[in-house]
Amino acid sequence: MIKPKVSIITVTFNAEKVIERTLKSIEEQNYDNIECIIVDGLSTDGTMDIVKKYPNVVTKYISEKDNGIYYAMNKGISLSTGDYLWFINAGDTIYNKNILSYFFSKDTFLRDIYYGNTLIVDMQGKILGERRLKPKDDLCWKDFHWGMLVCHQSVIVKKKVAPLYDTKYRICADYKWVLESFYRARYTIGTRHKVASFLEGGFSRKNMFKSNVERFKIMISYYGLFPSIWYNFLMIFRFAFTSLKLGRI
């Protein structure tokens, strides 16, 4: 059986403290048709020195000034030659070394989107727990009125289905990218396996108010004004309740 080529794209900027764990997790994948692309924003620390230590992992890299993370992600898409796109940020890791072999097995071959669960880790790589939101098995684009139901790092999208990132959104372009990918997809499959772990305290978490405003604007374009107002109210209530219950965001 032909193995689809997966382009793993990692965007970096001054990530010398965390990039190695990401590269090691890619190296450990039990799948032999991976293209690893590093898009660096002209780091001034030792990020690129570490990247260059892994020629057996990194297929191609570029280090130059850019206009932000989503511009860099679009650059990664333009550099990719794979059948599928997978965005693993610096500091994030692939949790399950057999996940690609599992996704591309005979029973689940050539879906438009593959997705699964996510863990949260701290700067030292210690697991803090599972992500608060967990995707259901039959996730579709309409479900995203509840917000980012599946973590960006735990979604693998066929390149023919995937859009470019909408760079007019500075914080929530990843939400729109995942939502639009599901909107375009015909065949998706989810798993309750843990696919990836992401570093606590991401960009959108640090800019929560602006993130909510951007997400609301995106929701209006897909679901309309009044449904978006209603679901935003419910999301805020659910967020407060579950955060108190779990003792963390």
Q: How deeply is 143 buried, as exposed, middle or buried, from its count of CB atoms within 10 A (0-12, 13-18, 19+)?
A: middle
Domain ranges of the chain: 6-201
pLDDT in tens, 86-143: 999 999 999 999 999 999 987 777 899 999 999 998 887 788 888 877 788 889 999 9
Residue 210 pLDDT class (50, 70, 90 cuts): confident
SS3 track for 102-160:
HHCCHHHCCCCEEEEEEEEECCCCCEEEECCCCCCCCCCHHHHHHCCCCCHHHEEEECC
Taking the domain 6-201, which CATH number applies?
A: 3.90.550.10
Of 91, 97, 126, nearest to 194 by C-alpha is: 97
Given a cut of 80, is residue 23 above it in pLDDT?
yes
Highest mean pLDDT among 189-198, 224-233, 234-243: 189-198
Q: Which residues of 8-23 are buried (b: 16+ CB within 10 A; e: fewer)?
A: bbbbbbebbebbbbbb
DSSP 29-45: -S-S-EEEEEEE---SS
**Residue 171, token pair as written in the block:** 């914080």
Answer whether residue 22 shows pLDDT above 60. yes
Mean pLDDT calculated for residue range 221-225: 94
Residue 212: CB partners within 8 Å, gap ≥ 6?
232
Give the residue-averaged pLDDT of 75-83: 98
